[in-house]
Amino acid sequence: MKKSRFSPVYLLDNDTVAAWVFLTPALILLSVFIIWPIAYLFYLSFTAGSFTSTGTYWIGFKNYWRLLLNADFWQVIVNTVYFTLATVFPSLVIPLGLAVLLNRSLALRGILRSAYFLPSIISLVAAGLGFRWLFQTTGPVNALLNLFGIPPISWLGDTTWAMPVLILMSIWKQLGFNMVVFLAGLQAIPPSRYEAAELDGANDWQQFCYITLPGLTSTLIFVIVTTSIFTLRSFEQVYVMTSGGPLNSTNLLVYYIYQEAFAQFDFGYAAAAATVLLSVTLVLVYLQLQTWRKD
């Protein structure tokens, strides 16, 4: 902006006008498809009723109070936390190790990268159906165990094994994406640092601890946040493989929201649960942005 000699009113210069012209379509789309749905979700969490002729009506914080007093909701929270923690840690360690190995001059490196990345481009529904076939009572996994004299296990019908199968599937799905991100981070570390460390007598483990990990700080934060968000929003694998069972042991927060909204038609209560999920996601994104700002 620039100020006129004859008026205290600030006039827009050509660069500012051009910036607003280019930004306006994006701002409109952002408002229609992101800001307005979030605002409406927040409003809906304070209401009850339905979208029929009876309409919705304001009930204040009663939906949030119901969340606090609902034992099923707390079991879903425990399931979601367990699922997230058990998925995020292996989804960091395994891809990081693979990225370190593939970053070296290995034979067939390009083919291995493609093979590891392949799960990331497969539909979650297709992957869920594949894992359900593998772990069914008469599936290949039990057939393999039978060769060693181990009796068949009802993987998806047992409260002990159903969640680990979901976790295994989610780790497999996330592995390739995280590996590619780690590879990009490794290639941004100057080779001169490793050369200097070798001259000082540092072994591979010392180079990894004092050069690789510090050089991947921002990448690690990005992978932790994106993987956490990926696991928090998990729906397809639960819907396809277990439907939240057995005995609610694999019911995750997004699937719980879906059930309350589209099976029970309790949209206000579902919106309150979705607001909780949105709040957790925004906190994770905020922590990521703060870390990048410090770097």
Instruction: Indicate the domain borders of the chain.
Output: 70-293
The length of the chain, given as a count of residues: 295
Note if the bond before 246 is cis, omega within 30 degrees: yes
In three-state secondary structure terms, 10 is strand
DSSP string, 15-59: HHHHHHHHHHHHHHHHIIIIIHHHHHHHHHTTEEE-SSTT-EEE-
Tokens of 196: 């200097």
pLDDT tens profile 249-288:
999 999 999 999 988 889 999 999 999 999 988 888 887 7
Distance CA 172, CA 227 (A): 12
Residue 86 clears pLDDT 60, i.e. is over it: yes
Residue 67 clears pLDDT 50, i.e. is over it: yes
pLDDT tens profile 101-155:
888 766 667 777 788 888 888 888 999 999 999 999 889 999 999 999 889 999 9
pTM here is 0.86
Distance of CA 169 to the CA centre of its chain: 14
CATH 1.10.3720.10 fits 70-293, yes or no: yes
The pLDDT score that the predictor gives to residue 6 is 46
pLDDT tens profile 11-23:
557 778 888 888 8
Residue 9 clears pLDDT 50, i.e. is over it: no
pLDDT tens profile 231-244:
998 999 999 999 99
The pLDDT score that the predictor gives to residue 111 is 79
In angstroms and rounded to an integer, the radius of gyration of the C-alpha atoms of the chain is 25
80, with CB counted inside 10 A (0-12, 13-18, 19+), is buried
Q: What interhelical angle do 267-294 and 36-44 show, nearest 10? A: 130
